[in-house]
Structure 1
Amino acid sequence: MKKFVYLILAGLVISLSALAQQKKKQPNIVIIVSDDHAFQAISAYDGNLMQTPNIDRIANEGAIFNKAYVTNSICGPSRAVILTGKYSHKNGFKDNENSHFDGSQNSFIKELREGGYQTAWVGKWHLESNPQGFDYWQILPGQGHYYNPDFIMMDGSRERVEGYVSDVTEDVAEEWLDKRDKSKPFALVIGHKATHRTWMPDLDDMGMFDGKTFPLPANFYDNYTNREAARVQDMTIDQTMIMGYDLKMYPDYDNIKEGNITRMNADQKARFTAYYKPIYDDLMARNLQGKELVEWKYQRYMRDYLATAAALDRSIGRTLDYLDKNGLADNTIVIYVSDQGFYMGEHGWFDKRFMYEESFRTPMVMRYPGMVKPGTKSEHFVMNLDIAPTMLDAAGIPIPKDMQGESILPLLRDKKAKGREAMYYHYYENGEHSVSPHFGIKTERYKLIRFYKRVESWELYDLEKDPKEMHNLYGRKGYEKVTAKLRKQLEGLIQKYEDDGAKELLAKEGGSL
């Protein structure tokens, strides 16, 4: 009997020891979320616009996802999807104009916290409510500002911090890491304002791309033939980009009223004026018109955008250096992701929103020492929807059944693992930039999109023959079978993700729903 009791106790000790060891091995988590950062502007994605050594480092030391996408290409909704692991129609934050994030709902952060993690979010939040489920948060109000940003603190007060926002956000993140409870694993989300409009570079980065002339995208002068939703948008570099607000071209630099400028201190303002005023004076002297002016605007946009991205990349480098210096790198997952893609002049555009590739596709790289082989290149379809369940999977915490994403860890561990065959997308906003709401499906070769409200139309693309999505094949003879198959797949995803709004719209025009 004594021997039997001894064996039971020994087994219990071993089990508790194994449990403690498992808990000890829970990885720390750092998720870096930027704003409007185009994969075309990242050298790890073979972009030749600029070098991004620190984002590249994450890719080289871990995995790069060459087919990462978002469920809804717009800032706030994307963050809500990352937090909840649910599509916009399920988490309730569909657009930036009418939505307010319900922080009482579950999130992967709450699950991690319940599982023993210490949690924090610093920087851009943009969800129209205060964070819930975090041990600490310090967030930018709304879009935030590039210079001397204000922060909302946990007690409701606001504090203005002198400096450039990418640097300041990283400072706040490191301060929290220094003060955290080091007996617990941590999950930290660093939300960057960069590279959101109006693309204001750090003072030392102004002019860093002035010696480079960027080639126009092949479809820069797109005429949007047979693509009505693209034709009626208002997001062109030609017509929409504002000389003052966007490109910092002002007739009187002593009396600028724009809020991004008025908050600068005297030294910042002097250096700002010293850089931009000569550019304005030269522009006025040249008196450019027509295409010459449009292409000048494109070059100015690219130079400011990429210089803003340079500071973002440096701040990511600081995060990696902090983990190294504090002995945290070997047991910390690092994910870098943008809230969506962005147009670098393709179709003549800036901004995002559309289900076309430059907007729908997002950069995502992940480092997970000991679990993800350095230099991994993933060709699986993954989505921002998958970040929440992936982090819970890595932490050994059960994934709630109502999360709609899927852990990507099996895709990284097993070469034979099969991922998605198709992805579902739904964009809701019907105001800013005059982009029509739409939903659709993407497979390896094809994309089918249904636009509604502002424009009622369908679009079909053969991505193998037409990767720039210039030729709408919907209704074209010879594509009936392809269209029918895609429509059936689309209906299946709408059913799977329980998108009642899309289901109702399709049911009205006939179909199996």
Structure 2
Amino acid sequence: MSSQRNIVVVMADQFRAEAIAALGTDPVVTPNLDRLVAEGCAVQHSVSSYPVCSPHRAMFLTGMTPSHNGVTLNVNSETAADGVGLRDGVETWASVLADRGYRTGYIGKWHLEPPVAADELHGEGRRDDGKVWDAWSPPGRRFGFEFWHAYGAADRHLAPHYWVGDAERHERLDVDRWSAAHEVDVAIDFVADAAARAEPFALMVSLNPPHQPFEEVPARYRRNFEQVSDDQLLTRPNVPFGTPVAREAGRVARDYFAAITGVDEQIGRLVAALDSIASASDTIVAFTSDHGMQLGSHGLMYKNVPYEESMRIPLVLRCPGFVPPGRSEEMVSSLDFAPTILGLVGSASARPEGMVGSDRSDSLTGRAPVSEDPAAVYYRFASRSDTTELRGLRTRSRKLIGTWHPELGLTIECFDLVADPFEQDGEAFDPTAAGLAVRLLRRLEHDGDDWPGLEPLRERVCAVV
């Protein structure tokens, strides 16, 4: 066995935890992911601490909180004007592994580069919302990834484009192929090349589907869902049927689940190629997402809300002989991924000081019991269009969410995730909830978080205890 394990991370955008047939209740067709679950470890409490694209990805790579890594909101031309973007010089798990001799690579959607004026001309262009989202990343701002076949944020699944290697901003590659299939082609070539050089490799493949536009999915994947009724598609009891949102969710679900079938097929191709090129016992495969999707639950369509449909994400790890198969009750939050990845490949000692997340690798590999009472922080920062600002705490069994309204003050929601898994019946702010609030306050204070709800939450705790 190699002294340095390889790792391949696949992140599918907006792929919620329920959308693997072996793990959830969505009516999806995912035979390859089901096989990965059977052969690997499925983490039951994998959590997106900020369930929207850029903030989660920044935490995933750096293990740093949003206020420290610079990505407090989704990155686009508007937020770039406010200074939002991954900060120069921050270390990532990729930069650590590159320094330790790994061949590192990034393929697909990046969405961490602040757009500049020229990106409107050479990238996706300006969207209907008036913002530029897509951006070329200069070679000096790739944060440890040596091989580069990526773009910023362009929602053109059937006609994707990429900047490859040292290509300049005006030298993009346009591809006439479904993005997920093309990116897996590139990933297979990357792994074959690294194996031929006898180099350990660390690769991240960032697939945009099943993110919208939902209709941009090859037609053959839709066949499984053409005759399925809305109530068979939307199985969660917190979907308010008969409402406009539920009707929209029913229309969207067919394409969303079709894209998931397509992603599953590409996972199957990639894992089969990995097994033929590299030793399975030397290569960790990790499948995950940046956030989920409401898909009608709680009367909402998308994400960036503290409900389970958005917060819970899949995490499946496979490495025969190293990662014991089964279901793990461990919690892995956005901040925990970077130190955990370093731990999995035996590089925990090289962890940068700025990574504040927890390394869960020992429990995921059976070398230690699961964490006794872990908790994930929830973040949402104020933006120009929404001045509310949220913080929260999720444990295995409970959730507390505080929302700061500049005009209305602090509101608090509490949920028992065991008795009320669909979060339909909020609980009172009682001593148990106050205990969660104390833990949240301590964490935010430790991190130097200046959330405006800190003092009002402290006052609420004092009033209860």
* SS of 1:111 mapped into structure 2: helix
* CA positional deviation for 1:495: 2.8
- Give the alignment's TM-score, normalised by structure 1: 0.76
Q: Which moved more, 1:309-318 or 1:319-328?
A: 319-328
Which 4+ stretches in 1 moved above 4 angstroms? 292-296, 508-513
* CA positional deviation for 1:203: 3.1
- 1:120 matched to which residue of 2? 105
Matching residue within 207, 212, 218 for 2:228:
212
Matching residue within 300, 311, 336 for 1:386:
336
The amino acid of 2:204's aligned partner reads V
- 1:239 matched to which residue of 2? none
- 2:55 matched to which residue of 1? 77
List per-residue Cα deviations over 1:471-499 (Å, max 9, x = no partner): 33345xxx2x2232222111122134x14
Matching residue within 249, 252, 277 for 1:326:
277
Please tell me whether the aligned partners of residues 49 and 214 of structure 1 are also in contact (alpha carbons under 8 angstroms).
no
* CA positional deviation for 1:143: 3.0
Q: Percent identity?
A: 29
- 1:174 matched to which residue of 2? 188
Matching residue within 154, 162, 177 for 1:163:
177
Please tell me whether the aligned partners of residues 390 and 401 of structure 2 are also in contact (alpha carbons under 8 angstroms).
yes
How many residues of Structure 1 are paired with residues of Structure 2 in the alignment?
Answer: 415
* Residue 417 of structure 2 is aligned to residue 463 of structure 1: yes
* SS of 1:380 mapped into structure 2: strand
Partner Cα distance (2:373, 2:293) in 1: 24
- 2:361 matched to which residue of 1? 409
Q: 1:94 to 1:135 in 2, by over 3 A?
A: same
- 2:154 matched to which residue of 1? 143
List per-residue Cα deviations over 1:380-425 (Å, max 9, x = no partner): 2221322211222233222223211222222131463434432211
Structure with the greater alpha carbon radius of gyration = 1
Matching residue within 302, 311, 314 for 2:262:
311
Partner Cα distance (1:136, 1:395) in 2: 19
* CA positional deviation for 1:307: 0.6
Matching residue within 392, 398, 423 for 1:440:
392
Partner Cα distance (1:294, 1:500) in 2: 35
Matches within 5 A, 1:101-112: 101-112=86-97
Please tell me whether the aligned partners of residues 320 and 329 of structure 1 are also in contact (alpha carbons under 8 angstroms).
no
* CA positional deviation for 1:87: 1.9
- 1:505 matched to which residue of 2? 453
Please tell me whether the aligned partners of residues 245 and 300 of structure 2 are also in contact (alpha carbons under 8 angstroms).
no
- 2:67 matched to which residue of 1? 89
Matching residue within 36, 42, 65 for 2:14:
36
Q: Which moved more, 1:69-78 or 1:212-221?
A: 212-221
Matches within 5 A, 1:335-346: 335-346=286-297
Please tell me whether the aligned partners of residues 73 and 339 of structure 1 are also in contact (alpha carbons under 8 angstroms).
yes
* CA positional deviation for 1:294: 5.8
- 2:207 matched to which residue of 1? 192
* CA positional deviation for 1:92: 1.2
* Residue 5 of structure 2 is aligned to residue 57 of structure 1: no
CA RMSD of aligned residues (A): 2.4
Q: Which moved more, 1:124-133 or 1:107-116?
A: 124-133
Matching residue within 188, 211, 218 for 1:202:
218
Partner Cα distance (2:182, 2:146) in 1: 20
Partner Cα distance (2:456, 2:178) in 1: 51
Q: Which runs of 5+ in 1 are unaligned?
A: 1-20, 223-290
Q: 1:501 to 1:415 in 2, by over 3 A?
A: same
List per-residue Cα deviations over 1:325-374 (Å, max 9, x = no partner): 21332210010001012113211222111111111111111012221122
Partner Cα distance (1:175, 1:186) in 2: 12
Partner Cα distance (2:345, 2:19) in 1: 32
Partner Cα distance (2:261, 2:457) in 1: 48
Please tell me whether the aligned partners of residues 441 and 458 of structure 2 are also in contact (alpha carbons under 8 angstroms).
no
Partner Cα distance (1:509, 1:61) in 2: 44
Please tell me whether the aligned partners of residues 141 and 150 of structure 1 are also in contact (alpha carbons under 8 angstroms).
no
- 1:492 matched to which residue of 2? 442
